[in-house]
């Protein structure tokens, strides 16, 4: 089976849904940000602070190339992974891509207690969420099947994806 890629902004449910999907499909779950942290032996926020966003995006692209050569994975991609056309091409050519979305307020409520979101370190995290969502909107739109997670629980999103995979 082709890989299943979950893309979307932080706080849309990629990791939680991915774990459930992998379990239901008996596939291996991979969380790209966690793998990058493990390989670099530092947190994402520290990679951003010490090496910059461009360096992180390069790591993300290298990892995606490696993962795409495998099969039967459920992959939670970093929130900005689809903003790179090479990444988008890899995703679309090697798997099924589902773009999870949520409103800025829902995202803010889901991530406001998190201290490991480097792009939200600032005085106005909700404003930053809105700004980043707007900038990434065209990429998320063309990435894959869009699923609004605002009013759905993790199991409902996973079941919806399973239904799409089984029935097209």
- Per residue in 89-100, pLDDT (tens digit) is 999 999 999 999
Domain with 135, as residue range(s), is 3-162
Output the domain CATH number for residue 17.
3.40.50.300
Residue 112 in domain: yes
φ, ψ at 151 (rounded to 5°) = -115, 25
Residue 131 in domain: yes
Query: Which residues lie below 8 Å from residue 16, measured CB to CB, with a gap of 6+?
Result: 154
Which pLDDT value is given to residue 119? 60
pTM for the model: 0.92
For 125, 129, 145, the CA distances from 122, given in Å and listed in that order, are 6, 11, 32
Residue 134 predicted with pLDDT over 90: yes
Q: How many domains are there within the chain? A: 1
* Beta bridge partners of residue 148, listed in sequence order: 101
Q: Using alpha carbons, select from 31, 82, 92 the residue that is nearest to residue 61.
A: 82
Q: How large a percentage of the chain has pLDDT more than 90?
A: 77
Measured between alpha carbons, how far is 51 from 65 in angstroms, rounded to an integer? 21
Which pLDDT value is given to residue 117? 67
């Amino acid at each position: 089976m082709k890989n299943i890629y979950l893309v979307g902004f932080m706080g849309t449910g990629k990791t939680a849904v991915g774990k459930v999907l992998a379990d239901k499909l008996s596939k291996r779950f991979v969380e790209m940000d966690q793998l990058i942290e493990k390989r670099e032996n530092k947190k994402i926020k520290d990679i951003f602070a010490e090496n910059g966003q461009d360096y992180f995006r390069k790591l993300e692209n290298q990892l995606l190339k490696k993962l795409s050569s495998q099969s039967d994975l459920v992959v939670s991609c970093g929130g900005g992974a689809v903003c790179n056309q090479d990444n988008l091409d890899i995703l679309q050519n090697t798997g099924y891509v589902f773009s999870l979305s949520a409103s800025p307020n829902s995202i803010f409520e889901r991530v406001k207690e998190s201290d490991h979101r480097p792009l939200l370190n600032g005085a106005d995290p909700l404003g930053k969420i809105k700004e980043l969502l707007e900038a990434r909107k065209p990429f998320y739109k063309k990435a894959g099947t869009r699923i609004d997670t605002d009013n759905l629980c993790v199991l409902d999103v996973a079941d919806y994806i399973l239904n799409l995979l089984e029935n097209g």
